[in-house]
Amino acid sequence: MTSKLTPGQRLFAIVEQGLCIGCGLCQSVAGEDRVRVTKTSSGYLHPVIEGELDHDTVDRIYEVCPGTRIEGLPQRLVEPDTRHDNVWGPWRRMVRAWAGDPEIRFEGSTGGVLTALGQYLLTSGRVEFILQVKTSAAEPSFGDPTLSFTEADVFEAAGSRYGPAAALTDIGAALDRGQPFAFIAKPCDVSALRNYARQDDRVDQLVRYMLVMVCGGFGTPQGTINFYQRVGIDPERVTGLRYRGRGCPGPTRVETGDEAQEFHYIDYWGEDETTWSLPFRCKICPDGIGEAADIAAADTWIGGGPNRVDSVDDPGTNALIARTRAGEELIAAAAEAGALTLEYDIPPDTMSLYQPHQVNKKYAVWARHQGLRDAGRIVPHTERLRIEELAQDLPEETNAFQRNGTRRRIEIGKATEPTPEASKS
């Protein structure tokens, strides 16, 4: 490819234009001696350049980066009897569920289903390990990728981490093991891995299951600092952060040395969607619902968030979407083995009641991408996500509002990140 930009400038354009979620895959594609995904001066995980980078490598990164390419479920995984919903995508079963083991249900972010499924995949011998994310050892608000080989390892990774988490920096090492494994992560991480399957055949051979949480976006580093300050904690003194889990949502627990204070999910995120502090990439996310995964797991709060009263004794109930035959079979087998408790099946309209923010974004996102185009920005390539079709159902003035809003955000610098530089802290 010919470009007036250098290879490094092209890689950094993804970051500068607010499209990098810090998944870590470019490090695996280029090699750690050339690109390293690390905490940068902006507070996010982003790529920094360590060695010589060429255009061919950057072309390969653009092909797989979830900031530049997001696709729905691979066509080969859509069966003749798979159902389709225009908002919720391909699905075979939607069901309310929780972990069969009460301890896992309690510890998990919602009802512990992802942890229960991860453990079941190991104990049933379906996979040798799970590539997932656990609390970062170095940065209390971040997640680190980890390979889980035992039920205890999977249990240790339970709970949502709302800060940056580079799930795919170790994908090369995971594939090099030559063993079947499962991947549990965010929808954009799975988009990245599905993209990477086009460059590395081992992904389709070895990654037997891809499980995600339905995802409204991760918390910005500045948003987390603002939260600490709102509740009167010096960010410099924080040694541990558990966002949720141990009930649903469970306490947001902040540790400063030997002391710990507990807050509510609402203290971190605010009262409703308008108060969420999200990276720009999440605001233009065409797939927070995990269309490319075998199973997506969600919360079941009507209206999309908990209230302080009902959440006191909530043991946690997930809504699961099985999108593939493998996902559907896994849910049934895990239930049969007692790893999951299934409550009752639900239709897509019920998912929409639980996730109104996902529905709103799915409709709005095509116009937002047009706003990127208007501003001469990189427009992520999307396929099989129906976003243009959904936008056509909206009144023209709503699409214009979304499109102009994105253009305006870009004009006032709200969609721009600094050129990445490794953080000194």
Question: Which residues of the shown chain bind ligand FAD in the complex (CB under 6 A)?
Answer: 108-115, 118, 132-134, 143, 157-162, 165, 167, 184-186, 213-216, 218, 245, 297-299, 318, 355
187 is an interface residue for ligand SF4 by CB under 6 A = yes
145 is a site residue for ligand SF4 (CB under 6 A): no
Angle at which helix 325-336 crosses helix 113-123, to 10 degrees, equals: 90
Per CB under 6 A, the segment of 14-22, 106-114, 233-241, 320-328 that binds ligand SF4 is: 14-22
Burial (Cβ within 10 Å: 0-12, 13-18, ≥19) of residue 209 = buried
Does 22 bind ligand SF4 (CB under 6 A)? Our answer is: yes
Q: Smaller CB distance to ligand SF4: residue 341 or 355?
A: 355
The partner in contact with residue 184, picked from ligand FAD, ligand SF4, none with C-beta cut-offs of 5 to 8 angstroms by kind, is: ligand FAD
The CA–CA distances, whole Å, from 34 to 28, 37, 171 equal: 10, 10, 16
Asked whether position 13 contacts ligand SF4 by CB under 6 A, the answer is no
Q: Which of 214, 390 has the CB closer to ligand FAD?
A: 214
- Nearer of residues 95 and 385 to ligand SF4, judged by Cβ: 385
Residue 256 token pair: 């400063």
The site partner of 214 among ligand FAD, ligand SF4, none (C-beta below 5 to 8 Å per kind) is: ligand FAD
Cross-strand bridge partners of residue 131:
147, 183
Which CB sits closer to ligand SF4, 49 or 400? 49
CA dist., res. 362 & res. 112, Å (int): 26
Structure tokens at 142: 């971040």
Rule CB under 6 A: is residue 20 a binding residue for ligand SF4?
yes
Which residue's Cβ lies closest to ligand FAD?
216
Q: How far is CA 162 from CA 4, 8, 252, in A?
A: 37, 29, 11
Long-range contacts of residues 272-277, Cβ cutoff 8 Å, at least 24 apart: 272/304, 272/305, 273/216, 273/304, 273/305, 273/357, 273/360, 276/216, 276/217, 276/219, 276/223, 277/219, 277/220, 277/222, 277/223, 277/226
Q: What angle do the packed helices 396-411 and 356-374 form, to 10 degrees?
A: 60
Which of the residues 194 through 223 are near ligand SF4 (CB under 6 A)?
215, 217-218
How deeply is 138 buried, as exposed, middle or buried, from its count of CB atoms within 10 A (0-12, 13-18, 19+)?
A: exposed
Instruction: For ligand FAD, give the closer residue by CB, 132 or 191.
Output: 132
Cβ-proximal residues to 26 (8 Å cutoff; 6+ apart), any chain? 11, 35, 37, 47, 61, 64, 65
Rg (CA), the chain: 20
Give which of ligand FAD, ligand SF4, none residue 22 binds (C-beta under 5 to 8 Å, depending on kind).
Answer: ligand SF4
25's contact among ligand FAD, ligand SF4, none, with CB below 5 to 8 A by partner kind, is ligand SF4
The amino acid present at 287, given as its one-letter code, is: D
155 binds, among ligand SF4, ligand FAD, none (CB under 5 to 8 A by kind): none
Nearer to ligand SF4, 296 or 340 (CB): 296
* 66 near ligand SF4 (CB under 6 A): yes
Longest dimension (CA), the chain: 59
Minimum Å gap between C-beta 53 and ligand FAD is 26
The residues near 386 (Cβ < 8 Å, ≥ 6 apart) are 72, 86, 89
* Contact pick of 221, 288, 305, 306 for ligand SF4 (by CB under 6 A): 288
The entry of ligand SF4, ligand FAD, none near residue 14 (CB within 5 to 8 angstroms by kind) is ligand SF4
Q: Say which amino acid occupies 48.
A: V
Binding at 282: pick from ligand FAD, ligand SF4, none (beta carbon under 5-8 Å per type): ligand SF4
Told to check if 163 binds ligand SF4 by CB under 6 A, we report no
Say how far apart CA 25 and CA 179 lie, in whole Å: 20
Q: Calculate ∠ Cα 99-104-108, nearest 5°.
A: 95
Q: Which residue of 67, 145, 223, 327 would you call a contact of ligand SF4, by CB under 6 A?
A: 67
Return the one option of ligand SF4, ligand FAD, none that residue 113 interacts with (CB less than 5 to 8 A, by type): ligand FAD
Query: Please, what is the minimum distance in Å from the beta carbon of residue 148 to ligand FAD?
Result: 8
**Binding stretches for ligand SF4 (CB under 6 A):** 14, 20-26, 37, 47, 61, 65-67, 186-188, 215, 217-218, 281-282, 285, 288
